[in-house]
Amino acid sequence: MKSIVSNRSISYNYEIIQKYNSGIVLFGYEVKSVKSGKVSVNESFISINRGEVYINHLYIAPIGEIDKLFKYNPTRIRKLLLNKNEIDEIFKYTQRAGFTCVPLNIFLKGGKIKLQIAVVRGLKNFDKREKEKMKDSQRDIERSQNIKYKV
């Protein structure tokens, strides 16, 4: 499993509840662009419409002359491939207040492009500060254990 691109701000802004792996419907020239790493998931989000899951604002840069040959939209809506049970679970989560679904990363698995999505709950500012305090205290504990005293 080779990661192509990931969304690092998710773990800071959200609490991850459940993760899912899905396929993504792409054109051939988009596959080439994704495999070369010319993709961004930072501003994208997941939507559910009529029992199907879509990713919006996933930016895939055009390769070569594709944008001149076709009317290429790099942020078009793309369909995600999940089974019915997973779609129902995601839908139930997102109907509750404070929950949403966002993309985490894009990776290669067996030569196929996969997208990892997660159901998340937004963190408040005081939760973020508390998380930072916990990290700092853990870091201090680890430093104090690694110090070697010379006598």
Which pLDDT score, from 0 to 100, does residue 118 have? 94
User: Mean pLDDT throughout 23-45?
Assistant: 90
For residue 24, being part of any structural domain is answered with: yes
Find all residues with CB under 8 Å of 103, minimum gap 6, and list them.
7, 41, 44, 45, 46, 55, 58, 115, 116, 117, 118
Closest CA to 23 of 50, 2, 53, 1: 53
Indicate the average pLDDT of the chain.
87
> Does the pLDDT of residue 64 top 80, yes or no?
no
Torsion angle of C-alpha atoms 103, 104, 107, 109, degrees rounded to 10: -90
Question: Residue 50 in 3-state DSSP?
Answer: coil
Percent of the chain with pLDDT over 90: 44
Question: Is residue 83 included in any domain, yes or no?
Answer: yes
Residue 144 lies in a domain: no
CATH value at residue 30: 2.40.280.10
Per-residue pLDDT, 111: 87
Mean pLDDT of 33-61: 91
Containing structural domain, residue 104: 2-123
In a domain, 71, yes or no: yes
Which pLDDT band holds residue 150 (cuts at 50, 70, 90)? Answer: low
In a domain, 80, yes or no: yes
Give SS3 for 85.
Answer: helix
How many degrees, rounded to 5, is the angle at CA 68 between CA 75 and CA 34?
45
The predicted pLDDT at position 149 comes to: 59
Q: How many CA atoms lie within 13 A of 142 on its CB side?
A: 6
- Global pTM reads 0.78
Residue 53 belongs to a domain: yes
Q: Is residue 145 part of a domain?
A: no
Per-residue pLDDT at 55:
95
What is the rounded average pLDDT of the residues 126-146? 81
Domain tally, the chain? 1
